[in-house]
Amino acid sequence: MDDFAVTVNGRRRPLPTVAAHTSALDWLRETGLSGVKEGCAEGECGACAMLLATPDDRGGTAWTAVNACLVPVAALNGQEIVTSEGLGSPEALHPVQETLAGAGGSQCGYCTPGFVCSMADEYYRADRAPVAAGEEHAERGPNGFELHALSGNLCRCTGYRPIRDAAYSLGSPTADDELAARRARPAPRAAPTDLRSHDGRFIRPATLVEALGVLGDAPDALLVAGSTDVGVEVNLRGLRPPLVVAIDQLDELRTLSFDDDMIEVGAALTLSEVERRLGGRVPLLAQFFPQFASRLIRNRATFGGNLGTGSPIGDAPPALLALGARLVLASSAGEHEVELSEYFTGYRQTVRRPDEIIRAVRIPLPLAGVSAFHKIAKRRFDDISSVALGFALDVDDGVVTSARIGLGGVAATPLRALATEAALVGETWNIATVRAASQVLAAEGTPISDHRASSEYRSRMLGNALLKLYSATLIAAKQVPA
């Protein structure tokens, strides 16, 4: 592909002989940019972080940190990236690099370039603002730095306090900062791509119609958006699909709209984009987003990808099941809707046909008055769920009038806790009702024992979750001390 090129640290780098499944990490290191490191090859350590120029909500550019190990370099055709080498040099350190070094935030240095890129993402965030005087925030520094920006970066030797201290002491970009000035100009669009190599073919269609046409001709094609799941399979299990079709930049899959009875979220919007655009207007999702992997992953992951895999342990399905979501499936023959509760048919099996693409997720309005997302995992953040639950209840005059509860990790598919919902609806919202319904919830699904949790533990966590929700409603209503 003679016109294949990526702008790296301000320089256009053509690479006509790239293989279809080469990661951005491997390509960058082969070109001599060894700042990106491979620590885990599955997007959990952040050593490979780089900055990707992405569109912001004002028509400009946001510098977004992503995992280079998971992104196929073919997916970057026409785009622009910055590595730690492009931020600064030993002779002229970038403010992030200088502050991190000054705070003692690096020892062996293996993870440091990744931390630098994640910190630079937050450093250049356009709406970052200092915390008001006298106000304290558990996960935001006085300079407005969101600590979650580093949730996908691991350090085995330095300890996190000096890294956090460096992040919290960063100032704002100066007037002569080129990357800050770059934010005022549009981000380059990913170029349509058709790359054929010895290990497969990578296509980026220009439109949804074109993508659906490709699927009609090649129903075995593998769809990718953020590649946060497929990238792991390529790196660790040697997956080499013959044909990959990238749909993450299709305009038709990147919309977000509101009307009186529905919110429609494009299936290819990243979770970070959805979180920002919703702005907390869906409280259940506001709880869900920070618990979904790390910021580095959320900067690439999509609802369409999380649902498209059909995984029983994905975090999005329980939340969306509780919200009563519907999916819009598109093919060359047209579109149709399916209830998410009817979408999963078996282990990693769904009703989506090989020629169909998830175009959007529709969330009906009004939203339930009581909602929550609970994730039980070995780590607080950046971990796979042992059990995940989404709750959406309406309580009128002390009586439960509607209930939707989504479950993940307790059966071959995500599912609704229908028996528990029936045990709640029409009953008084009090401790007696909750205890009785908790016993029903503990028996929902068919939890198994594996390396993450035993079946007994999963059942116990199910039962405890409803009691936790009830306690939270009492605290919110100030009926008990926090």
Spatial contact of 75 and 248, defined as CB atoms under 8 Å apart: yes
What's the whole-number mean pLDDT along residues 448-469? 93
Count the Cβ atoms, other than its own, within 10 Å of residue 478. 8
**Is the domain of 48 the same as that of 25?**
yes
Instruction: Starting at the earlier edge strand, list the strands of the sheet with 80-82.
Output: 11-14, 5-8, 80-82, 49-55, 61-67
Q: Are strands 243-246 and 222-224 parallel, antiparallel or unpaired?
A: parallel
**Is the domain of 331 the same as that of 425?**
no
Q: Among candidates 409, 431, 429, 405, which has minimal Cα distance to 419?
A: 405
Decide if 411 is inside a domain.
yes
CATH number of residue 107's parent domain: 3.10.20.30
Spatial contact of 101 and 88, defined as CB atoms under 8 Å apart: no
Residue 448 pLDDT level (bands cut at 50, 70, 90): confident
- What pLDDT does 476 receive? 87
**Is the domain of 334 the same as that of 433?**
no
Using a pLDDT cut of 70, give the percent of the chain over it: 99
Does pLDDT of 134 surpass 90? Answer: no
Final residue belonging to a domain, choices 349, 364, 379: 364
Angstrom CA distances, 91 to 32, 251, 266, stand at 19, 42, 44
Decide if 210 is inside a domain.
no
What's the whole-number mean pLDDT along residues 408-414? 96
**Is the domain of 305 the same as that of 274?**
yes
Using a pLDDT cut of 90, give the percent of the chain over it: 91
- What pLDDT does 480 receive? 59
Final residue belonging to a domain, choices 342, 364, 386: 364
Spatial contact of 402 and 368, defined as CB atoms under 8 Å apart: yes
Per-residue pLDDT tens digits for 342-384: 999 999 999 999 999 999 999 999 999 999 999 999 887 788 8
Q: What is the mean pLDDT of the chain?
A: 95
Total domains, the chain: 3
Decide if 236 is inside a domain.
no
Decide if 226 is inside a domain.
no
**Is the domain of 17 the same as that of 118?**
yes
Residue 2 pLDDT level (bands cut at 50, 70, 90): low
**Is the domain of 27 the same as that of 136?**
yes
Please, which residues have CB within 8 angstroms of residue 472's CB and are 6 or more apart in sequence? 372
CATH number of residue 284's parent domain: 3.30.465.10
Decide if 133 is inside a domain.
yes
**Is the domain of 91 the same as that of 71?**
yes
Give the CB-side neighbour count of residue 115, counting CA atoms within 13 A.
Answer: 27
Decide if 237 is inside a domain.
no
How far apart, in whole angstroms, are the C-alpha atoms of residue 294 and residue 60?
A: 24
Per-residue pLDDT tens digits for 390-402: 999 999 999 999 9
Least confident interval from 109-123, 133-147, 331-345: 133-147
- What pLDDT does 135 receive? 75
Residue 137 pLDDT level (bands cut at 50, 70, 90): confident
**Is the domain of 33 the same as that of 116?**
yes
**Is the domain of 7 the same as that of 146?**
yes
Structural domain range at position 296 = 251-364
**Is the domain of 359 the same as that of 374?**
no
**Six-digit token pair at 90?**
């030993």
- What pLDDT does 481 receive? 53
- Crossing angle of helices 112-123 and 95-102, in 10° steps, is 120
Per-residue pLDDT tens digits for 139-162: 899 999 999 999 999 998 998 999
Decide if 224 is inside a domain.
no
Which pTM was predicted?
0.95
CATH number of residue 456's parent domain: 3.30.390.50
Decide if 217 is inside a domain.
no
Per-residue pLDDT tens digits for 32-88: 999 999 999 999 999 999 999 999 999 999 999 999 999 999 999 999 999 999 999
- What pLDDT does 378 receive? 85
**Is the domain of 291 the same as that of 406?**
no
Please, which residues have CB within 8 angstroms of residue 332's CB and are 6 or more apart in sequence? 209, 212, 213, 215, 216, 355
**Is the domain of 434 the same as that of 379?**
yes
Final residue belonging to a domain, choices 336, 364, 392: 364
- Phi/psi of residue 301, nearest 5 degrees: -65, 155
